[in-house]
Every structure is written in C-alpha cells, then in structure tokens.
A and B are shown apart, each in its own frame.
Chain A
Amino acid sequence: MRQKSTSSPQIILLLALTAVGLTGQSYPGKPKIIRCRSLEKETFSCWWKPGSDGGLPTNYTLFYSRDSEEEIYECPDYRTSGPNSCYFDTNHTTPWTTYNITVMATNEIGSNSSDPQYVDVTSIVQPDAPVNLSLETKTSANTMYLWAKWSPPPLADASSNSHVYHYELQLKPEEKEEWETISVGVQTQYKVIRLQAGMKYVVRVRCMLDLGEWSEWSSERRIQIPNGESPPEKPTIIKCRSPEKETFTCWWKPGSDGGHPTNYTLLYSKEGEEQVYECPDYRTAGPNSCYFDKKHTSFWTIYNITVRATNEMGSNFSDPHYVDVTYIVQPDPPVNVTLELKKPMNRKPYLVLTWSPPPLADVRSGWLTLEYELRLKPEEGEEWETIFVGQQTQYKMFSLNPGKKYIVQIHCKPDHHGSWSEWSSEKYIQIPTDFRVKDMVVWIVVGVLSSLICLIMSWTMVLKGYRMIAVILPPVPGPKIKGIDTHLLETGKSEELLSALGCHGFPPTSDCEELLIEYLEVEDSEDQQLMPSHDSSHPSKNTKMIPKETDSDSGRGSCDSPSLLSEKCRECRTLPSTLQRQDVRDVQENKGGKTSWETQCIASEQKILLFNNETAKSSTWPAAQLPNNQPPMFAYHSTVDAHKITLNTANVNIAPVLVGNEEKRQSQYPVTETVHNDTEKEREMENLHSKTDQTTAQVKQNRPNDKSPFLNPKLMDYVEVHKVRQDEQAVLLKHKENSGKTEKYTVPGTSKEYTKVSTVVDHNIIVLMPDSCIQHTSVSQEPAMETSPNLQQGQAEKNMSYCLTAPSECKRETSGSEYMDPSSFMPSFK
C-alpha cells in the first residue's frame, strides 16, 4: 500500500519520462556561446553552439543588452556571419560598452537560454591575417637581401580601409624550428638582410590593430636565397608593340639577378639575314624595354628577338621572340572627341560625335587605315553597348533618351591585323530636354487656355444664354405686320403693297414723295374707328403679338424683342399721364435697368423718358403733352409706340431717350443688343435732347391728342411710315392687319423732322425717329434694316441695340399716327 501510495507520483514521473523517451521530444538543450570576435572594432560577430534540439525544430534567438541597461534587444543579423551566428554591424556596435549576450533556444515544448556572455567590443578585436605575401631576392651594393611584400587583410565592406595595422614578420630557414620574429610596423613590405646564401627560407606575417589581439599567421612563403655566385635567371620578353606602324617597342621582364648586378641586352636578327643587332635604344620606352625607330623597323620581315641577362657569374638568354611588325600594330586611342547637337528643321535633334585619329597614326597617306568602334552606356547603367563605326570619324546618334546622361568611349584598330587600342577617356553626353519641356509647356498652356475659354463660354451661356441663343439661333420671325393687308398680298396688288411698303424702310427716294399721298390726319374718329378696329384687332393682335412677341423675336435686340417691346409699350403707356398706366412695373423694370430708354418710350411721353433713368435729362418730357388724347393705340413692341405717343404731343421734346432698357433687357436678351454704355447713352440722350429741342418732336397728329393711337398700349397698331423726311411729315401709313386699310398719316407741322424709321421692330413696330433720334438710337436689330432707309445705316448697328425708343420718339413726333408695324410686312421683303 505504501508502496503504492508513494509510487503513484513516481509512476507519473516515470510515465512522463517514458513519454519523453518514447517520443524523444523535449525542450531544447542549452546553447553555448562559443566566441565573439570583431575584425576591425566597428563590427563584431558572435557564434554559439546549439545544445540538443529536443527532437523538434528549434529556433535560436540572441538577446543582448548594453552596459546594464534594462532594455533588451534582439540580434540584428543572423545571416552575415553564417549559421548560428549573429553579426552586429556598425550601427549596432558601440565600443567601450559591455554587451550582455544570451542565446535562447526555443521549440514547441519550451525554451532554454544560454549563460550570459559579457562582451566588450574592444577586447574582442582580432583582424584577419594579411594576404598576398610575395618574396624576392635583390642585390644592392653587393649585398643580397630578401624583399617581402604583402597586403592587409581584406574587409567585408571594404569601405573603411583606414585601419592601421601593425605587422609582424617571422622567417626561418626551412630546416630550422625556431622562428625569427621581426616587428615591421605599419608598412606592408620589409627587406630582410643577413641572409645566408644558398639557403631556403620560410616567411610568414601577421597583423594587429592598435588594440585587441594579433591576427592569425598568414600562409607561409618559401624562397631560395641564391648563392652569390650564380648567373642570373632567364628574362622573359613580355610583348612588342607598334603604335603607328612605323616604329615598335619591346618589353621584357627580368628574372632574379643571381646575387649580382645584372645587365640586360636585347639582340635581334631579321628574317633572311644572319646579322645580329643590338637594340638601338634602351631608354626611350622606359626600363627593361627596347625602342626600334623608323630606320630600324622593317615591315613584312620577321624579327628574331632575344634578351640576354648578364652578371659576373654568367649570362642567360631569354626565349626567342618572333615578331612581324605588320601584325603588332596597336594604335593610341582616338583624340579630340567632340559632341555637337544638331537641330534640323522638322526633325528631332540628334547628336553628332566626332573624333580624330591618334596623332601619330599616318592616315593621310593611307599607310595605316584605322577602324573605329564606340561604346555607350547610360551613366547609371551596367552594360556597354558597342557600336562598330568603321573608318569614318563621326557618328550620329538619334536614339538617345532626352534628359539622360550617357558615357561614351571610342577606340580604334588597324583595318588589317592588329589589336584594338585603349578606350579613349570617358566623354559625357547630356541630352538636352528643352524641347521636351517645351512640349509640356505648350500643352499646359493650351490646356489652360482652352479651359479658360470653356469657362467663359459656359459663364456667358449661363448668364446670357437666352440672348446667346437668340443671337446664334435667331427665331424665325413671323409676319406681324399689322398694317399689312394680307389680302393685299394675296391679291397681289403690287401697287398698294408697294405703296404700303414703299416709304417704310425702303430707301427714301423721291418715290416716297410720290407716294406721299396726303397729309395724314389722325383723328379721333378715325382713331376711334381705328381703335375699335384696332381694338378689335389689337387684342387679338395683342394676343397674337404678345405671343409673337415672346416667340418671334429673333435676333433683335432687347428692343426688338417682343417682351421688350411689350414692356416698352407698357412703359410707354404708363408714361403719359393720360396713358394707361398699364405696367408700371415695366417702368420700374426699366428703371431698374439703368439703361436709357430709347426714345422709343420716351417719345411717347416724357414720362417715358422717365424710364431712362440714367438719362435724366431726357426725362423731362412734357408728359402732359403726350397724347393723353392719344391713347397709345399701338402696343408698341418697340419704342415706336412711344414715339407715336410722343408724337401726339407736339410739344414733346423728344428727348432722345436712349433706351437703356436694353441694357436691362440684356439680362434677358442677347448681349448684342445693348452695346452702348450709359455714358454713351447719356450723351446720346443729350444729343437727342438738344436736337429735339431744336426739332421738337414734330410729329404731330392731326388729330387731337385724344386720339393718340400711339399710346394705346393695347393697340399694337402700326403705321406704315411711307416716308420720312425732314420738314415733312412722316407719312405714316397705317395698316391694319385685319382691316387692310391703309391709311396714311402724315405728321403735320413737323418742320424739321422727319420721322425716320429708325427701326423696324420685329413686331412690326416702326420706330420712327427724328433724325437726331435716329442717330442715337439704334435701329432695331431686326435684320430688316432695309426697312428703314432713312436710318443712318451706319448707326444701324448701334441703333439696333436700342430698342426702338428712338423711333418711338420719332413716332411721337410724327403725331400719333398709327404706325404700321413694318415688321408685319417685313418678312415679305425678306
């Protein structure tokens, strides 16, 4: 029982152990740090030896801390120094600090860490051994010495070769055991004297940094010290070369001199001759060389050349060297390598590389013909691109990338047997990028400009889209000439038609006079007659007009637009006190628009002039004079109505009120209409005003004022103006669309003015204007410029921008005879 009770934990332990034993897996064994070593005090590595791995894959991690700091770091580099190592590069190595290093082995089951190792970098410095140890025996001043040379140990990064090593040399005769140690210092060579002749010596060398340990010994080198009495060793001829196919040089390498000063002589003989010659020139080409000048150089002849080394003890010959100068030509590299950038028209710029043959080569006589080859690579590139050029001394390069830097080199070779020269010095090519930059700049500018233009276009479209559209796509005006009798047209009574149309808008020739039938008196009764008829017609007309106004106005300016006209008409209406103030708002609207009304509205009344807010002067119209009596019979689309109205009032000083509304209208209508600015209008207004002073609106109605057909806002009657003349009365021929009557109205008593039809509005409103008015007012923009012959065409454009205010004035002057809206017949003429 006891056994059982006590054995249960043991059993468990046993089981565990068996389990371990069976499966063979356990936590890893403890690793052990073997050594740490620094090669040059700036980096160091540590190696460890793993313990048992417990049967499972084990990871090893190295942790270190510095100088009793708390923070623990992990090894930065496990690879550089090989497996089970950790390499601390310069960034992680701090001298004069103690590293506490431990290695931890981890597997699935558990981990185990090594004992800590305390490492001070400065104490573990040990460089590699020196390399390239070479030995030579030399004799000077009758003494033989051994000359040993070596190189410092190579460093991994090779960047910091500024380490100063101290060297130590050991040598001993081959048979002996003891080494003789010689401290060399920082030199990498040493001459050993006190050597026994005839002995064979073994030499080795090691190095050390200023602190740390000595490196390992380098590999040994053996050398035989020659007896002082031996002839020199055999020299060897290295090569013979001719740089220009006219002379040549041979070089040799001496052997050991056998303990005595040795002389070297070069001997040669030519093919087919027995005579042996000695080198003509030992100096020109340097030590251990022989220079054959032109006299001594023969071509297509084989030279047999040997070098003899002679010292006190004897002499030795080198192996013979056979050479035919023709085949040993190796020119100098080409010179004068120049680059030129050529920019032909219509083509991409290209580079021309030119060079000259080496100065010694006689290419001019054809004795030596050279072939060239160049190589090219981008500055950062690795591989050279070799291009064989041939015998020409220039090369055109088309395919280089702009903006990049290239290196180019050239070498040459004789066209027949021979060898390539050395490469010329590097030439750098920088491809200019300017044209590319120009391309970019051009495109940027184009982009910016076009975007600006688009912006402007869209802005204008937004703001004045309507008007733009109207300008671009003028609506086709419908025929709206009220006065024109369609019957007339149908019946084709040309005379009447012509007469109806004759004075209107057509060149005011004397024909008009002829056509002038009579003085047209507009009388109440007539008016009333007319009016009702007009009324009858007008409403319809109006209704028609209005819609027409709204839609038929095409390219006309604000003035001509029906809405404008209607507005004006309305305004006109409102102007005269007697007039029905119909759309005060229009007035206000117009007022809002600071444009000066064209005399159109003003004509009717001074009140109309009020619309021309800006041109206040013009506002002083004898409103009263305006046709109270003359209700605006015409719903003037244009200022024509206004004119009529004013005309009714003889006294009306038709202040040329420039229709500023156009400007106002501008917001609604295309820009084209209102061109004039306020000042201009004001000026015009003044002019008009003045003029009108002179020539008061003389359009007087025959009829009493009460019959002011002009001001009938609703009446969109128009009178056809047959003729407009100064000192004459405008003959206004009134046409009713429906009635077909043609009445001519003449403006009585207008000494001066005329009414000139300044504009013919779309909506068949003749804007008659006094000359002065006309000058200032713009003709309706309707294309039917031709309808107003009297108009000063030059100003037509200008006038166009004005609504027919001016004409309205004129119309006023022409006494509210009804005007036929020429536009009604306009189309026919078109």
Chain B
Amino acid sequence: CHTSGMLTPNGKEYAQKIPREELTHLILKLLQAWKEPLSHFNQHHQELPDDSLSKAKQISNMVHELKTGVEKSMGIISNALNGMTSSEAAGLSISNEANMMSDSDFIHCFRRDSNKVQSYLKILKCRIMPENSC
C-alpha cells in the first residue's frame, strides 16, 4: 500500500499513548493520502457497472467529508494548511504509486486504511467524550 510508509500505531497501547493532536494529524494525513487515489480510481474505472461506480464516488465523497469534519472538529485547519504543503508533495508521489496498484491491492489497502482511520477516530472520541457509549 502506498500508505505503508506512514508511521502509524499498530496496536491499542500505541494508539492510546499518542497525544491527541498527533493522532488527529495522522488521521488527516491518512485521509489526505487517499483523496487523490480515489478520484483517480473513479476516473479510470468507468467501465464498472453503475452501482459500483456510484459506490466508489460515494466513498471518495465520504472520505472528503470525513476529512473536513475532522479538521473542523479538531480546529486544526491552520495545522492542516501547514501540513498540506508537505503532505501534498508526499501525496503526489504517493498517489503515483497508488495509481500503479492493482485493483485488488487498491481495495485491500483502502479497506485497511479506512479501518485504521475508524479505530483511531473511535479512540479519539472516547478520549474526548468518554460518556458517549464508551
């Protein structure tokens, strides 16, 4: 996966040890890293049946919204802006890589990264608002 280079906690303890901001930053980085490959995927796979295409589009929208939502809720737009430049650069190279992936790998990597993002967000949520079904 093109995001394999990112250093992400791969266990509960590691994820809990990371400070909040860093975790949030990680999430955003992940989401950012998938923005381009997803749109690229949608562009280049018009041959898919309609419902698959719409699903893919829906997914990339969701990723985008999730990213925006996280940014807003964490109030780190400024940081994101800062990080953007660097990550954009990284993202470009990464996305080049992503474009090379086979479809199955693409989907496999996306599945994993989305699971990562979900887990990190949940940990964040329970850290910030523990009373909410945690």
Contacts and interface: CB of A to CB of B under 8 A. Distances in A.
A246 B10 CA distance: 11
Interface stretch (B39-47, B88-96, B116-124): B116-124
Interface string A395-436: 000000000000000000000110000000000000000000
A366 B123 contact: yes
Contacts of A245: 12
A416 B115 contact: yes
A300 B12 contact: no
A299 B133 CA distance: 24
B56 interface: no
A300 B15 contact: no
Interface in A566-617: none
Given A364-B126, A366-B126, A417-B115, A297 B134 contact: no
B13 A294 contact: yes
Interface residues of B, number: 22
Contacts of A300: 8, 10, 112, 115-116
Interface centre among A245, A297, A365 (most CB of B within 10 A): A365
B49 interface: no
A727 interface: no
Given A324-B112, A326-B112, A365-B126, A299 B134 contact: no
Nearest to B121: A366
A365 B16 contact: yes
B78 interface: no
A630 B84 CA distance: 135
Interface in B103-132: 112, 115-116, 118-119, 122-127, 130
A117 interface: no
Interface centre among A300, A392, A417 (most CB of B within 10 A): A300
Contacts of A363: 134
A667 interface: no
A301 interface: yes
B4 interface: yes
B115 A365 contact: no
B12 A301 contact: no
Interface string A359-398: 0001111110100000000000000000000011000000
A553 B122 CA distance: 94
A272 B12 contact: no
B112 A367 contact: no
Interface string A640-667: 0000000000000000000000000000
Given A326-B112, A391-B133, A367 B10 contact: no
Given A272-B4, A391-B133, A367 B12 contact: yes
Contacts of B134: 363-366
A245 B15 CA distance: 13
B75 interface: no
B10 A301 contact: yes
A362 B130 CA distance: 13
A365 B12 contact: yes
Interface residues of A, number: 22
B12 A416 contact: no
Nearest to B13: A294
Contacts of B10: 298-301
Chain B interface SS verdict (over half): helix
A754 B95 CA distance: 128
Contacts of A417: 115
A400 to B, nearest CB: 27
A246 B13 CA distance: 9
A143 B103 CA distance: 55
A82 B112 CA distance: 61
Contacts, number: 51
Interface centre among B116, B118, B125, B126 (most CB of A within 10 A): B126
Nearest to B111: A417
A299 B11 contact: yes
Contacts of A416: 115, 118
B126 to A, nearest CB: 3
Contact of B125 (A246, A272, A326, A366): A366
A259 to B, nearest CB: 43
Contacts of B15: 367
Interface in A322-363: 324, 326, 362-363
Nearest to B133: A391
A748 B16 CA distance: 122
Interface string A769-786: 000000000000000000
Contacts of B123: 365-367
Interface centre among A245, A299, A363, A369 (most CB of B within 10 A): A299
A734 B8 CA distance: 125
Contact of B12 (A246, A369, A391, A392): A246
A245 B126 CA distance: 17
A299 B124 CA distance: 18
A207 to B, nearest CB: 55
Interface in A234-248: 245-246
A272 B112 CA distance: 15
Interface centre among A246, A366, A416 (most CB of B within 10 A): A366
A324 B116 CA distance: 13
Contacts of B118: 416
Interface in B66-111: none
A323 B112 CA distance: 13
A364 B8 CA distance: 21
A391 B133 CA distance: 8
A392 B132 CA distance: 11
Nearest to A272: B4
Contacts of B11: 246, 294, 297-299
B122 A366 contact: yes
Contacts of B127: 365-366
A508 B134 CA distance: 92
A780 B22 CA distance: 105
B34 to A, nearest CB: 15
Interface in B1-38: 4, 8, 10-13, 15-16
Nearest to B132: A366
Contact of A369 (B13, B122, B130): B122
A417 B123 CA distance: 17
A451 B130 CA distance: 64
B68 to A, nearest CB: 22
A821 B102 CA distance: 125
A245 B123 CA distance: 14
Interface centre among A294, A367, A369, A416 (most CB of B within 10 A): A367
Contacts of B16: 365, 367
Contacts of B4: 272
A177 B11 CA distance: 65
Contacts of B112: 300, 324, 326
Contacts of A297: 11
A379 B16 CA distance: 46
Interface centre among B8, B12, B16 (most CB of A within 10 A): B12
Nearest to A369: B122
A362 B115 contact: no
Given A326-B112, A416-B115, A362 B12 contact: yes
A367 B15 CA distance: 9
Interface in A294-328: 294, 297-301, 324, 326
A392 B115 CA distance: 22
Contacts of B119: 299, 367
Closest 4 CB pairs of A and B: A366-B126, A366-B122, A298-B10, A367-B12
11 contacts: A294-B11, A298-B10, A300-B116, A301-B10, A326-B112, A364-B130, A364-B134, A365-B127, A366-B127, A367-B16, A391-B133
Given A300-B116, A364-B126, A417-B115, 19 more contacts: A245-B12, A272-B4, A294-B11, A298-B11, A299-B10, A299-B119, A324-B112, A326-B112, A362-B12, A363-B134, A364-B134, A365-B16, A365-B123, A365-B126, A366-B122, A366-B123, A366-B124, A366-B126, A367-B12
Interface of B: 4, 8, 10-13, 15-16, 112, 115-116, 118-119, 122-127, 130, 133-134
Interface of A: 245-246, 272, 294, 297-301, 324, 326, 362-367, 369, 391-392, 416-417
